[in-house]
Amino acid sequence: MTDTFEKPPEDISMLQTLINHLVRDRLALIGIVLVVIITGSAILAPLIIPHDPNKLNVRHRLKGPSSEHFLGTDQLGRDVFSRVIMGTRVALKVALISISVAGSIGLLLGMLAGFGVKWLDNSLIIFFDTIRSFPTIMFALTVVTLTGPSLNTVILVVIITSIPVYGRIVRTQTQAIVNNDFIMAEEAMGAGKIRIILVHILPNVIGPLLIIASMDIPVVVTIEAGLSFLGLGVRPPTASWGTILNDGYSFIRNTPWLVIAGGAPLILTTLGFTFLGEALRDVFDPKLRREV
Amino acid sequence: MKHLLELENIKIRFRTKGVVKALIDRDKDPFIEAVCEASMSIGKGETFSLVGESGAGKTTLARSILGLVTPDEGRITFNGKDLLGLNQASFKPIKRDIAMMFQDPVGCLSPRLSVQSIVTEPFKIHNVPMADSRKEAQRLLELANLPVSFLKSYPYQLSGGQARRVGVARALALNPKLIIADEPTAGLDVSVQGEILNLMYRLQQEMGISFLVITHNLSVVRHTSDHMAIMYLGRFVETGPTDEIFKNPRHPYTKILLTSSPEPDPDAPKTRTVLQGEIPSLINRPKGCEFHTRCPLAQDRCQLEVPSLRKIGEDHYISCLLEK
Amino acid sequence: MVLCVKDLSVNFKTPRGLLKALRNINFDIDAQQIVGLVGESGCGKSTVINSILNLLAYNAIIEKGSIDLQGDNILEMSPQQIRATRGQRVSVIFQDPMTSLNPVLSIGRQMMDIQYRDKMSTTDKKNRIIRMLGRVGIADAENRLKSYPHHFSGGMRQRIAIAMAMMMKPALLIADEPTTALDATLQIQIIDLLKALQKEIQCSILFVSHDLGLVADFCDQVIVMYAGEIVESGTVRDIFHRASHPYTKRLLECDPARIKEKTRILPTIPGEIPDLVALGKDCIFVDRCPIKQNNCPLTLPPLEELAPGHFVKCHLSRVRRDG
């Protein structure tokens, strides 16, 4: 309705829109702050931690929070704060590696399925559905039994179970885009299939994929914590939020701070990345931006 | 006269069900005919209009010229070259000479590209070297009467008229010989509509471009085209010089179509015939003359015989059994 | 009087500032009158409709004014009152009938639902639906109640949308470009249907269209809008035969259907619609006006009555009339 002014619209950059948006949207701001704190502490973990996270000190076991130990100590006398910070590294490492690998593979397969020939689409969909039909935990248990628990196992499990999720999303997006006039316009101009995929489909599917991927980070973090809690993830003594939770679980009546110390970062990560993802969606979805 | 583009007896069929389903249903003819026996020719620097209601097959016919739809029968000759039977690689150079403007002005522009990238896209597709892509884009926007400041805009920031002009600029990029314009004025305000049509006419004068215009807006056809064809259910019912058809329409459908848009004058005499019913579906194509179900003059033989296009004047053809 | 819009001004909050979409809109619709609303995109037609239907976007601010529907101000109604108004006293048909039809409910069910306020028996309601569908030209209506919207063609869907809009005998029907998406031969059918139903139900119609031919054919009164203001209004003959505002004249000139002689160069209106965020103090059409004079005052021209019922907003109208 207001789009007919013959003046070119002001050139508002994405960054500026993001900033404008953040000023208005408090939740997004909280999200950004949380994400910065979480990633910051993961990167700078060795500099932040006051104690060696794996150093035993049996005399100081299960101590409450103090100025020496911000979050107290666990049953082996290790500094819980240091372990939580080191756990951030593990959590983000698993999340980032597995989501970026799964995202890239899913993106490629999804675009091929959505744009490619029918038989490729059909076989990819069967492939996706086969993987998806295994419950994640059962699948993880199987893999762990075969290979033994390790961080790499967790990453592998998450990658394999996430590819179909991203693949399907990208495929649906691609199919919606392929039916647009602008793809036919490209074909009419003589553009080849590879050019159409790279120049015209990719930029349109990558945005939504990034948003979903960023919202998936807390999901993967939770999966990693869950597997580690069950003893299927990182091996002791490496700190992970899941193992901290597991350690604290046995002493929940007397020393609740252990469970809180393991659980709070999980909650904050979930909130932070979800708020951020929602803010990104609002900013990068051109349909929403078009509204005045 | 040597024609730039010639279409002979084009027939385009679409499958309505898959091979397996057709076998199970014992359907021997799982096809609909979107276009049948369409013949036309466009000379250099000429404008030809395809007119008809939705489902008449205008767009399908136009798309077949660019190989976006493959005709089942017929012949398409462009610039002396037979286009049917060309493979993708040998078709590509043809696409430098034929540009297409799509109906949806914004939707046919790649949404994540800037206007500069969009209008220089043909260069990149055909590996035509550009000294400076910005300068080239600037030249094209100027041709299309659009301020240079739009180079950095994105499609969603453009109004219909602006996007339409970007579409014109892109079509002009490689100096095409023919531009196929699908509803070039759809969704535009009357004042903007004039601007686009004048722009197209100016380019035609300056560069000798031929236009194939698909439209349902008859008042636009009257002012802008040299020849026209009226389509109904995939068939040409009347074709000839525009002036002649407007002066002396012969097919009953043409006659009704020409009077169906009321004149913008409250006191104009109301001479129109209201056509009853709607266009039949292609799946249930009427037997005999396709128009007999709605034709005010239909007789018994119209249900049986299929009329073919016959000459009734200089370059003027109709397909009607009754009209002498 | 069915509808009386008084001094309506509507603004939109935008990142660039306040966009003044409507400014001092005044018009009346009398009983059984068909009023055409004409103007190009961005002129505020849809904002007028949305104001009447109380469907303005979240960032809209009604600066002032009132919209009286049969004496009740729509802008001051409670949500319950608004719901009781829509569909019963004022109803609407859109360009795309699928806007008003629910794709997953059968049309019989949908038409039953809109009668929920009536205390009639189900059989009576059903008969009313069948009568109404038959009236708008749906053959074999009784057996088609279970059909879904996608079973019908575009023209038939628009007929069903009209049946739904007219079934409750509203006092005012808003027809927002009801024929734009239809083919020429169907447009006329729909217009003829609207004419016949309007006579039967004796409602008023606000007909929004950019097709001047249809407006000339169908309407009694015409309102011409430009950039959020009414620049001219009057009877259909005032507008089409005695247009006074330079914008109206230009708009009429641009319609290729009015140009009798074949021409390759079509008239246009050079220039741009003013930016509604940064409006000047003077006449809104001044930048594009072909007849503007140096002595045009730098103020908004007042709405002047040239002849009974024929209003125009141009500094020069008086000059031309007097001398």
Partners for C (CB, 8 Å, 3+ pairs)?
Answer: A, B
Of A2, A20, A291, the CB nearest to C42: A2
What sign does the CA torsion over A257, A261, A262, A268 have?
A: positive
Position A5 scores a pLDDT of 35
Statement: residue B324 has pLDDT above 70: no
Structure tokens at B315: 């370059």
Among B residues 243-282, those touching chain C with beta carbons less than 8 Å apart: 243, 256-257, 260-268, 270, 272, 274-275, 278-279, 281
Question: What is the arithmetic mean of pLDDT over A214-233?
Answer: 87
> Which of A182, A210, A291 to mutate against chain B (most B CBs within 10 Å)?
A182
Residue A2 confidence (pLDDT) above 90: no
**What pLDDT, on a 0 to 100 scale, did the predictor assign at position B25?**
82
Other beta carbons within 10 Å of A249? 12
User: Would you place residue B5 in the very low, low, confident or very high pLDDT band (cuts 50, 70, 90)?
Assistant: very high
Q: Could you report the per-residue pLDDT of B204-242, keeping only the tens digit for each?
A: 999 999 999 999 888 889 999 999 999 999 999 999 999
Q: Give the global pTM.
A: 0.84
Kindly report the number of other CB atoms within 10 A of residue A113's CB atom. Answer: 25
Across residues C238-242, what is the average pLDDT? 94
Whether residue A288 has pLDDT greater than 50: no
Q: Which two tokens stand for residue B149?
A: 């400041």
Average pLDDT, chain C: 90
pLDDT at A291: 39
Give percent above pLDDT 90 in chain B: 55
Q: Omega into A237 within 30° of 0, i.e. cis?
A: yes
Weakest-pLDDT range from A75-79, B133-137, C217-221:
A75-79
pLDDT beyond 80 at A190: yes
Q: What is the pLDDT of residue A69?
A: 79
C82 burial (CB, 10 Å; 0-12 / 13-18 / 19+) is: middle
Cα–Cα distance, C99 to C82 (Å, whole number):
19
Q: What tens digit of pLDDT does each residue of B11-45 get?
A: 999 888 777 888 888 877 788 889 988 999 999 99
- The predicted structure's pLDDT at residue A4: 36
Contacts of A189 (CB under 8 A, 6+ apart): B95, B99, B100, B121, B122, B125, B170
**Cα separation, C191 vs C179, whole angstroms:** 8
Give contacts of B 79-108 with A, CB under 8 A: 91-92, 95-96, 99-100, 102-104, 107-108
Q: Does C186 touch chain B (CB under 8 A)?
A: yes
Portion of chain C with pLDDT greater than 70, in percent: 98
Q: Is the pLDDT of residue A88 over 60?
A: yes
Mean pLDDT of A254-271: 87
- B122: nearest CB among A3, A189, A203: A189
pLDDT of residue C203: 95
Which residue do the tokens 């619609």 mark?
C273
pLDDT band at C196 (very low <50, low <70, confident <90, very high): very high
If pLDDT is split at 50, 70 and 90, which confidence band does C322 have? low
pLDDT at C219: 95
CA angle C76, C81, C87 (to 5 degrees): 115
Alpha carbons C254 and C239: distance in angstroms, whole number: 15
Q: Give contacts of C266 with chain B, Cβ < 8 Å.
A: 193-194, 197-198, 223
Pairing status of strand C229-235 against strand C221-226? antiparallel
Mean pLDDT, rounded, of chain A: 83
State how beta strands B98-101 and B178-182 pair.
parallel
Averaged over C113-136, what is the pLDDT? 90
Confidence of residue B274 (pLDDT cuts 50, 70, 90): confident
Let me know: does A13 contact A283? Beta carbons within 8 Å: no
What is the rounded average pLDDT of the residues A179-206? 91
Residue A90 has which token pair? 């593990």
Closest by alpha carbon to C36, among C250, C246, C169, C214? C214
Interface of B with A in 147-186 (CB under 8 A): 147, 149-150, 152-154, 156-162, 170
pLDDT at B279 over 90: no
List the structure tokens of A147.
Answer: 């290979």
Would the pLDDT of A19 be above 80? no
pLDDT attached to residue C61: 93
Q: Please tell me the distance in Å from A31's CA to the nearest CA on chain B.
A: 27
Residue A7, pLDDT score: 42
Measured between beta carbons, the chain B residues lying within 8 angstroms of A184 are 68, 102, 108
pLDDT for A255: 78
Q: pLDDT digit string (tens) for C278-303?
A: 888 889 999 899 888 888 888 899 88
- Can you name the residues that pair with A202 across neighbouring β-strands? none
Distance between CA atoms of residues B113 and A189, nearest Å: 16
DSSP B263-279: PS-TTS---PPPPPS-P
Average of pLDDT values for C182-191?
Answer: 87
Distance CA(B203)–CA(B195), nearest Å, equals 12
| Predicted confidence (pLDDT) at residue A6 exceeds the cutoff of 60 | no
Overall average pLDDT of the C301-307 stretch: 90
Lowest mean pLDDT segment, chosen from A43-52, C54-63, C199-208: A43-52
Nearest chain A Cα distance for residue B83, angstroms: 14
pLDDT, tens digit (0-9, with 9 covering 90-100), for C77-94: 999 999 889 888 999 999
Tell whether C275 is within 8 A of chain B (Cβ): no
Output Rg (C-alpha) for chain B, integer angstroms: 21
A11 at interface of C, judged by CB pairs closer than 8 A: no
**C49 shares contact with chain B (CB less than 8 Å):** no
* Span C26-39, average pLDDT: 94
Using the predicted structure, report yes or no on whether residue C14 has a pLDDT greater than 70: yes
Q: Which of A2, A6, A10 sits opposite C276 (nearest CB)?
A: A2
pLDDT digits (tens, 9 = 90+) for B81-122: 999 888 888 899 999 999 999 989 999 999 889 999 999 999
| Mean pLDDT for the stretch of residues A67-81 | 82
Query: Are C14 and A2 in contact (CB < 8 Å)?
Result: yes
Is there a contact between C272 and A6 if contact means CB atoms under 8 Å apart?
yes
Q: Is C256 on the interface with B (CB under 8 A)?
A: yes
- Tell me the pLDDT band of C9, cut-offs 50, 70 and 90: very high
C-alpha to C-alpha distance for B295 and B319, rounded to whole angstroms: 13
* Res B47: pLDDT: 95
Confidence of residue A17 (pLDDT cuts 50, 70, 90): low
pLDDT for A195: 92
- Provide, as residue numbers in chain C, all residues whose Cβ is less than 8 Å from the Cβ of B260: 184-185, 187-188
The residue-averaged pLDDT of C295-318 equals 89
pLDDT at residue number C320: 65
Q: What is the mean pLDDT of residues C256-264?
A: 86
Confidence of residue B266 (pLDDT cuts 50, 70, 90): confident
Contacts of B214 in chain C (CB under 8 A): none
**Could you report the per-residue pLDDT of A133-178, keeping only the tens digit for each?**
888 778 888 888 888 888 888 888 889 989 998 999 999 999 999 9
Residues of chain C positioned with their CB less than 8 A from the CB of A20? 15
**Measured between beta carbons, which residues in chain B are less than 8 angstroms from residue C154?**
54
* DSSP codes joined into one string, C132-177: HHHHTT-TTHHHHTT--GGGS-HHHHHHHHHHHHHHT--SEEEEES
- The pLDDT score that the predictor gives to residue C111 is 92
